Amino acid sequence: MFSTVKNTENHFYDAFSNCDLEKMMSVWLDSNEISCIHPGSSALVGKSQITLSWQQIFKPRAKRIFNLETINQISAKDFCLRLVQENIYLEGRNFAAPPIYATNIYRKIDCSWFMISHHASESPMKSDADFFSPRKEITNQSGNLH
């Protein structure tokens, strides 16, 4: 059905863009071991929980336009992990959501690639260059560490 990871991913985002539940679920492996985490959501495991989540996301129906940027890809014989930045726009509106970072994991079964995990999270509104810098120790006036 999906001969390449890119084909599967394109199908996923086309289904997402058009609120097409049937098309969306055709991308997912039919398994109770698949997982999905939407931004701000708890972990969902299994096809029934994931299907229900997409039903809720697709109401109300709103056409979304995706501009994807690939950040990283790790591939093996029958697995592929893709880290992407989702830039999402609502059709007909001057609104762009903050970028979403998504980790999409795919598995090849026979000759077809399927999604087995989608984990999306909001990007920070403002990047703090010091966030990953070593913390400076604070001392009180007596020179003792707090």
- The rounded distance, in Å, linking the Cα atoms of 52 and 30 is 14
Per-residue pLDDT tens over the stretch 46-81: 999 999 999 999 998 888 889 999 999 999 999 999
Q: How many domains does the chain have?
A: 1
Query: Which tokens go with 125?
Result: 């509104």
Tokens 């591939």 belong to residue? 75
pTM of the model: 0.81
Q: Is residue 128 part of a domain?
A: no
The answer as to whether 111 is a domain residue is yes
What residue numbers bound the domain in which 46 lies? 5-122
47, part of any domain: yes
28: in domain: yes
- Nearest to residue 91, comparing CAs of 69, 121, 70, 60? 60
Q: How confident is the model at residue 44 (pLDDT cuts 50, 70, 90)?
A: very high
115, 104 contact by CB (below 8 A)? yes
Using one digit for the tens of pLDDT, what is the confidence trace for 94-145?
Answer: 767 789 999 999 999 999 999 999 999 998 765 445 444 454 444 444 444 3
| In a domain? residue 131 | no
Q: Decide if 40 is inside a domain.
A: yes
Q: Could you give the 3-state DSSP secondary structure of residue 25?
A: helix
Within a domain: 143: no
Q: What is the pLDDT of residue 131?
A: 44
In a domain, 50, yes or no: yes
CATH number at residue 98: 3.10.450.50
CB 98 within 8 A of CB 89: no
> Where does 3-146 have alpha helices with state H?
5-17, 21-27, 47-57
